[in-house]
Amino acid sequence: MATDDIIDLKDWIGNPPIARGATAYVLVFQLQEFSRSREGLDLLKAFADRAEQFAEGRGCTFIRISISNLVLTVCDQEMIVAGVVSEIRLILLRMIGRMLPDYFGAVDLNRLAQLFDLRRDRDRALQAIDRMEEAAADVTSLSSMMDLLMMEHIAKVEHSHRQLGDARFADLFVRSQQIALIDQARGQGLMLTPVMTEFFISMSAIRQHLLVGVDMRHNKNVFNQLTVTLDRILLKCIDRVRRPDQRCSLNINIESVFSNEFEHFERRSLNSLRPFNFEFRASDVMANFTEFTAARDLIQSRGGTVAIDGLSPQMIAIIDLAQLQANMAKVFWQAGLAPELLKRQGHLERLRSHGVVLALARVDDPEGLATGRDLRFGLLQGFEIDRRLATPAPIPINEPFNPFPT
């Protein structure tokens, strides 16, 4: 049963206060990934206490749905709201850096703290509160504690792959999602044409079947090594899940391009990477720029394409993506991000003028689809796209269409 606080919160969202020059917002913190270790629980308790003090001093309302699900409501001028949101996010980042330094840089702050503008996001805010209420659980007991990710867990994944073999491992752990071309030129309305499939090893499946009760992100260095290991397994398994005529996209670490597994993958592909697009995270590119340029040149020389993945609107403005000479720039969508993307229209247009294909990923709601259409993103990916696609299979590789300009 909902507490009085939650009932009041839902009433406030459903009927937000109306004041001249003021706008009502809800900031939702979903911090479950910190609830899996004693250190994480200490962080959650400390942050909740600090956030409650912060809210009292700013005239906001703070509600604890559970130890890891927190809500802040604020109704004020947009500039003041922006300052409130920025400050409380800074408090969280500082606490992560000081109390859980291994997590710093390994978490997505935009997913941990989501802001809903009740002028347009009222239904979505209520849905988020409902989900948080359903998921709320007592995580203070020892039964919720998780093992910390260690090198022996990576060895366990490798051993399981050897035991299962490529085909069986792919059946159990490899997932896919289609990437679609958005086309408004053919008649009226919006048409989505699948042109590529992204294949990846599901972390949730690994967590569910192999690394049960393991806190995957507690140690950033070990987690990165796990992703490299999964890259190498994916390169071995990919031929078991993709059709010969299928374009596919693989999100891997730069380091993995120089592995034995990638070299064997090239040989199996007869040194032609034409059917493949390789996505590299922007943070990986910035940390390993020299290695990125070598990987990019290798892939493009073999006919493959390269994408910069995990971009935010702010990064579009800061990083000179055109100079990276990638074929695609992949921006992560998040509800309420449209105004920020609108501010970057000039940067987006410059990328298009340099022949860079713009892709919007994590399009899980109609707002994301509409924003991608309005800002002329060439490719879209996400659950909303999956729901709308009418054609089950991407365009075969022998057809003339290619989303990447030459």
**What pLDDT, on a 0 to 100 scale, did the predictor assign at position 187?**
47
Backbone dihedral angles phi then psi of residue 210, each to the nearest 5 degrees: -110, -45
Compute the distance between CA of residue 75 and CA of residue 235 in angstroms, rounded to an integer: 50
Using one digit for the tens of pLDDT, what is the confidence trace for 28-60? 998 888 877 778 888 999 999 999 889 888 878
Residue 117's CB is within 10 A of a number of other CB atoms, namely: 18
Residue 390's pLDDT band, with cuts at 50, 70 and 90, is low
The residue written with tokens 């990328």 in the block is 351
- Quick one: pLDDT band at residue 145, thresholds 50, 70, 90? low
Q: What is the pLDDT of residue 201?
A: 95
CB 191, CB 183: distance < 8 Å? yes
Is residue 262 predicted with pLDDT exceeding 90? yes
Report the b/e string of 10-46 with b at 16+ CB within 10 A.
bebbeebeeeeebbbbbbbbbbbbbbbbeebbebbee
* 3-class DSSP state of 361: strand
Per-residue pLDDT reduced to its tens digit, 322-355: 889 999 999 999 877 888 899 999 999 999 999 9
Of 83-92, 131-140, 215-224, 309-318, the one with minimum mean pLDDT is 131-140
Among residues 63, 47, 51, which one has the least CA distance to residue 136?
A: 63
Only one residue has tokens 């022949």, namely: 355
100-104, 109-113, 140-144: least confident range: 140-144
Dist. CA 207–CA 176, nearest whole Å:
17
Pick the CATH number of 148-388 from 3.30.450.80, 3.40.50.300, 3.20.20.450, 3.20.20.100: 3.20.20.450
Nearest CA-CA partner of 360 in 338, 331, 393? 331
Domain residue ranges in the chain = 4-144, 148-388
Pair 308, 321: CB distance under 8 Å:
yes
Predicted model pTM: 0.70
Report the percent of the chain where pLDDT is more than 90. Answer: 48
Closest by CA position to 371, among listed 334, 404, 346, 316: 334
Contact 192, 359 (CB under 8 A): no
What pLDDT score does 148 carry? Answer: 75
